[in-house]
Amino acid sequence: MILAGGFVQDILIQLGEATIHSQTGHIQLATPGYWASRSRTSESHMINDPTITKKILEAQTGVEQAVNRINFVGMLSNGKRDLAIIGEGIEPAGERKIGSFIRYSEGRPLEEADSDGVVIGQGIARLLNLHVGDRVTLIISLSQGAINTMDLQVIGVFQSFSKEFDARAIRIPLTATQELLDTKSAHVLVLTLSETKETDQIASAIRDQVEKHGIKVMTWRELSDFYEKTVQLYDAQFGVLRLIIFLMVLLSVANSINMTLYERTREFGTLLSLGDKPKTVFELIMMETILLGLLGAGLGILLGCIFAWGISAIGIPMPPPPNSNLGYTALIRLEPLAILSAGATGFGAAVFAALYPAYRATKVNIVDALRHGV
């Protein structure tokens, strides 16, 4: 249970961190209209003055940084073929910290000096046959009917945690996006925190400050439907696994106790014949079982932790999850609650399995018990 639980816990933690550090950040802020429509139409539902909000957020304890993003849709052309894309205008320095799980198969991330640079998903690079150094044209249609274009140079080809995202997404500097759209606004403010576990607490504190300005707060869990469904799936699977392990322990311990008590029938008959009460025999058997259960659970916890440390030192190479491009190395995470749960399961199964055999031992006929095995 320690190994299985630690493995599942590591999968969920790494999946969560990959989601945070490849796309969502820990917390995102946008207007209620943006969250309701999730529209990438450039002029719709924007934060009019993100600089002021950004300063408020960065002053919050536990917030590492706040970065602006502008979302847009358009066409990317290599001169021979056009491809519909979704785009993000980003702050390169800030996004480098957020995107620590993004890998570059070619080139490098954007930098502040890349005023005409673009990084593209691996899927786009394959469809348009693009490589680092190639020139492309970005075409955006504005709501007023005008069409803006920008000539860009491919700086890098990235792989994120989502294959679907890589097949459609490009990123250009925020300044270039604002110039292209003639705006100083932003769609989304993305926050990264010092500790992922503080997300809900900090989101609650921020929510009180920004909602009066017409901005709604969303955590990475609320933005990641795939993650939430994965957690539910693994919780259900591990619950079944825990039940199976409990039943296996229960049956094996019950069989061992039954055999032991059967071989000691004459001993129990002797105790009863010397005047000991059946209650005393029952308590004796249960005390032995409790001590053996504690010893077995303790030894199991020790061995489980040793194996977990050994496996984690080596790592478990894992293939890319569904809809992902990136594999990873899994570990066995030792969580105090999981360790105690495993020990309690082993101990509880031993004690529970001993109840009926111990009760039956108190009901033996003394004469038959003394003649047992003769």
Looking at the predicted structure, is the pLDDT value of residue 143 above 70? no
pLDDT digits (tens, 9 = 90+) for 281-320: 888 888 988 998 899 899 999 999 999 999 999 988 887 7
Q: In whole angstroms, how large is the CA radius of gyration of the chain?
A: 31
Query: What pLDDT score was predicted for residue 306?
Result: 94
Q: What is the amino acid identity at position 69?
A: R
Is the distance from CB of 58 to CB of 68 less than 8 angstroms? no
How big is the CA angle at 137 (ends 134 and 141), to the nearest 5 degrees? 160
Question: What backbone torsions phi and psi does residue 77 show, to the nearest 5 degrees?
Answer: -125, 135
pLDDT digits (tens, 9 = 90+) for 26-52: 999 988 888 887 766 666 788 887 777
Longest dimension (CA), the chain: 104
pTM: 0.76
Query: What pLDDT score was predicted for residue 330?
Result: 86
Beta strands in 258-335 (DSSP E): 316-318, 328-330
Q: What is the amino acid identity at position 111?
A: E
Checking DSSP bridges between strand 27-30 and strand 103-107, what pairing results, if any?
unpaired
As a whole number, the mean pLDDT across the chain is: 85
Q: Which residue did the predictor score with more confidence, 94 or 42?
A: 94
Query: What pLDDT score was predicted for residue 169?
Result: 92
Tokens at 30, concatenated: 């946008």
Length of the chain: 374
